Amino acid sequence: MDRTNDTLALMQCLRNALDRLDAINAFTAAAHLDACLHALSDYFISDENNSKGD
């Protein structure tokens, strides 16, 4: 399975959160970082589950 688009989307999510930190909007940045961490968690859980099926 090609995960390139997923990886690029996660990188963009993190970049957006860091941009908000630069703008000193900590609440919004924290929300974006939280969403990114959940997405990363889901990404790795999905990847692990796919590996178990092999």
Question: Residue 51 to residues 12, 14, 23, 39, 47: CA-CA distances in angstroms?
Answer: 25, 26, 40, 18, 6
pTM, two decimal places: 0.47
- State mean pLDDT over 4-29: 74
What is the number of structural domains in the chain? 1
pLDDT over 70 at 6, yes or no: yes
- State mean pLDDT over 31-42: 81
Number of helical H runs and strand E runs in the chain: 2, 0
pLDDT over 80 at 34, yes or no: yes
pLDDT over 60 at 41, yes or no: yes
| Residue 12 lies in domain | 4-52
Q: Is the separation of the CB atoms in 17 and 39 below 8 Å?
A: no
pLDDT over 50 at 51, yes or no: yes
